[in-house]
Amino acid sequence: MNFSRDVIDRLPPEALALLELARDGSRREWSFGEIQELSARLAGTLTKLGVRRGDVVMTVIGNRPEWVMAMVACFRVGAVVLPCTEQLRAKDLRLRLEAANPTLVLADERDVAELGAAGPSCPVLSIPDESLYAAEPAPCVELTPEDPCLITFTSGTAGEPKGVVHGQRYLLGQQIQAEHWLDARAGDLVWCTAASGWSKSARNVFIAPWLRGATALLHDARFDPNERLELLARERVNVLCMAPTEYRVIAKRAESGRLESLRGAGAQQEARAQRRSGGPNQPLRGLVAAGEALNPEVLRVWLQATGLSIRDGYGQTETGQLTGAPLNEPIRPGSMGRALPGMRLAIDAGELVVEPASVPTFFLGYLGEGARRNKNGGWIVEDRSAGEPWRTGDVVSEDEQGFLRFEGRNDDVIVSAGYRIGPFEVESALVSHPAVAEAAAVSAPDEERGAVVKAVVVLRDGLAPSAELVAELKEHCKRETAPYKYPRVVEFVRELPKTASGKVKRALLRES
């Protein structure tokens, strides 16, 4: 098997593969033929520089075509690619360099200085550089499903990040979620906004869309809620995949009327849609999210403005996507959907447990543990897919139709006076208040109750904390959810501590 040969080479070479929206405002379209040619030539350059099957190639590149070319080039020759987000600092990069010992690093010119501070001991190639595509195309290497192909680091919400090693099966295994959750279709323009270097970007920025014959959009710029909505309408994006944080921020802070513009993108953009599909193409039709549960208030705002429900899903860096809101069924606010077809999930003592052999995107092992290099540069892998049931560490509940609901991490659940309280319901109640932009609920020690709920709140722009507002938020939560769940402690902050992938670091909030 080989992703380059089995997917890219079989798509029409003239079909649109990438739509690039660069940081300088320029716009460029890339065909599958161009991607195939340039990635094969880059693979030739890598092999000339000594990169062999099983060697690690680290990338520090933004959401640019060069990142995609590097990923595909590595897949082509059997190198193991370690994509890193540009948000990482020297300490973070040093951790990854020491753990993975890459043979070579490809870095964006704007990231070379920070990478240099991390002290790489291998050659560093800078992009953009046209000479990287001057070599003869490298042939595709025949690979097995268990050959390592990708290393992604966990977001580090509970301790230091760990390198997760995925096999070649991870790439083609994305077909299930691409069809049954992302719902990408031939001719679609799919925009997964995740920054290069995170688990969601590795599977949904271009891999899952291409498996379905769709076009991937790359936007190399920081998140701006109003610009995001402008581009969605202008480019007639069909499927949008964003982090829950981004949906929340847009719902709270986008300019009035911007969301409603997504109901239709205007006749002048029809030519671009026809260019992709060969015929008329409808504007935005699909919204998906994964990473953290979405609050009912955010779902309501998007549904009211666009006529579309956000279909939630769930997965981990180690497992890939496991659940998703089913297509053509009513959305159940707060639910992360059902198990994807063929995936066997169960609940044991409240914790979600997975049968690894049923998940085609299940990881091989952690870097340096179940997946490690030998003295000759080869890989020793103790494939986790054949092992014991995987305990996710996430507390979930299930209704009679099999819909799952995320309640919180095992260590996030608050036990107060004998009540078990998941933070999500408290947070949902808080963000439904018009004064609240974001909120997190954590445990705080209490002599009488053992622990109480502490709410850490970010107010909307222009509002100030007050004792009156604290009392109002407490009463609001009592009305919106069970009274025993209301926060007895309320703190206000300018922003919540988050990982680079947007997940709230609740452990830091518990310590504060």
CA R_g for the chain: 23
Residue written as token pair 């297509």: 327
Whole-number Cα distances in Å, 76 to 36, 146, 147, 397: 10, 15, 12, 42
What is the separation of C-alpha 401 from the centre of its chain, rounded to a whole number of angstroms? 27
Could you tell me which residues come within 8 angstroms of residue 65 by beta carbon, excluding any fewer than 6 positions away? 18, 20, 28, 30, 218
Say how many domains are in the chain. 2
What pTM does this model have?
A: 0.82
Q: What is the CATH number of the domain that holds 103?
A: 3.40.50.980
The per-residue pLDDT for 310 is 95
Task: Calculate the alpha carbon distances from 303 to 16, 76, 300, 433 in Å.
Answer: 30, 42, 5, 18
Which CATH number do you get for residue 439?
Answer: 3.30.300.30
CA distance 272 to 65: 20
- End-of-domain residue from the set 103, 122, 143: 143
DSSP strand pairing (286-290 vs 239-242): parallel
The pLDDT value recorded for residue 507 is: 81
Give the C-alpha separation, 312 to 293, whole Å. 7
Q: Which two tokens stand for residue 165?
A: 């090693």
Examine residue 97 and state whether it is found in any structural domain, yes or no: yes
| 68 is a domain residue | yes
Tell me whether residue 218 is in a domain: no
Q: Which two tokens stand for residue 449?
A: 């109750």
- How much is the pLDDT for 161? 75
Angle at 2 between CA 147 and CA 323, to 5 degrees: 75
In a domain, 474, yes or no: yes
For the chain, give percent helix, strand, coil, nearest 5: 35, 30, 40
- Number of helices followed by number of strands (H, E) in the chain: 16, 27
For residue 315, tell me if it sits in a domain: no
The angle that helices 467-480 and 423-431 make with each other, rounded to 10 degrees, is: 120
For residue 287, list its beta bridge partners.
240, 310
pLDDT the model gives residue 502: 73
Give dist(CA 168, CA 335) in Å, integer: 31
Buried b (16+ CB within 10 A) or exposed e, 457-490: bbbeeeeeeeeebbeebbebbeebbeeebbbeeb
- Domain end: 122, 143, 164, which one? 143
Is 479 inside a domain boundary?
Answer: yes
The pLDDT value recorded for residue 421 is: 80
The pLDDT, as a whole number, for residue 269 is 41
* Residue 406 covered by a domain: no
CA 80, 36, 221, 203 dihedral sign is negative
Q: Which of 382, 387, 388 is nearest to 370 (CA)?
A: 382
Low-confidence ranges of the chain (pLDDT < 70): 155-160, 256, 264-282, 418-420, 448, 500-501
| Final residue before a domain boundary, out of 97, 123, 143 | 143
Q: Is residue 178 part of a domain?
A: no
Domain with 499 in it: 411-511
